[in-house]
Amino acid sequence: MNIPNKIRFEVANGLSNEEVLEAEFVIYAHECSSGLYVGMARDPVLRWQQHVQDAMNEHSQHNDDLFREAIKRNKLNFKHYILAGAKFEKAAKRKEAEAIRYYPSSLNMRPENCGSDTYACYKPLDKQITTSIILEKRSRSGTSISREDTDRVSIVAEVYMNSGRKRLRCTKGQSFKEGLRVECSRSEREKFNPGDKVIVKVALSTQKGKDYLVAAKTSPLRLAK
């Protein structure tokens, strides 16, 4: 499945496009025939790509939850919303929890305790006029995108030699592009031989405009069967 780097979002709840672009965090919603999912992110386009990759990767621990199952059923037939913005992560988490409780977010796996029942910034999506904005995956030139280890997904990678060193690359048939470099512990790589297939937990990152996969520094590798 080709995952776009640009997505059209409907901007709701009286937000302006300028406020969306200036926000450090946004609260978003993805809606399809199966229901609606609410989340928060610094980069909602990147987060959507990660959701789709999790859905397509049978080794991901999130592969069979309600939202990823909906992605597999509906492919990319989703409507995307920006519900709110926030400058700080704590405020973003509170607004996310409020949105999960306010909207019929049937694809979220668990309710959130927001400590508030005011929901001042939210209105029903079908009873308001929204504006459109096209958001692009943010540039990460010179930096990497970090994720919690629980957000990483398991893939099968191949050990190969490059410039006299053992390296890892993603194999064919994974949710990530074949041949993507896998950054991981050198000491773990040295345990295996060129040609070996290993299982490693990774997240997608970008550096200087190029995608690659990164494992946690302490992530162990194990031989694939």
Cα distance between residue 204 and residue 206, in whole Å: 7
Least confident of 78-92, 107-121, 167-181, 198-212: 107-121
**In sequence order, which residues have a C-beta less than 8 Å from that of residue 3 and are 6 or more positions away?**
48, 49, 52, 53, 76
pLDDT digits (tens, 9 = 90+) for 41-90: 999 999 998 888 888 777 666 656 899 899 988 877 999 999 999 999 99
Cα distance between residue 28 and residue 62, in whole Å: 19
Q: Given pLDDT bands bounded at 50, 70 and 90, which one contains residue 139?
A: low
**In sequence order, which residues have a C-beta less than 8 Å from that of residue 53 and are 6 or more positions away?**
3, 60, 153, 175, 176, 204
Q: Is the pLDDT of residue 147 over 50?
A: no
3-state secondary structure of 129: coil
**pLDDT of amino acid 204:** 80
**pLDDT of amino acid 12:** 96
Beta strands per DSSP E along 58-193 = 79-86, 131-136, 153-162, 165-170, 181-183
Residue 204 or residue 191, greater confidence? 191
Q: Given pLDDT bands bounded at 50, 70 and 90, which one contains residue 152?
A: confident
| Under 8 Å between Cβ of 53 and 68 | no
* Residue of 13, 12, 10 lying closest to 121 (CA atoms): 13
What domains sit in the chain, N to C, each tagged with a CATH number? 6-136 (no CATH), 149-223 (2.40.50.140)
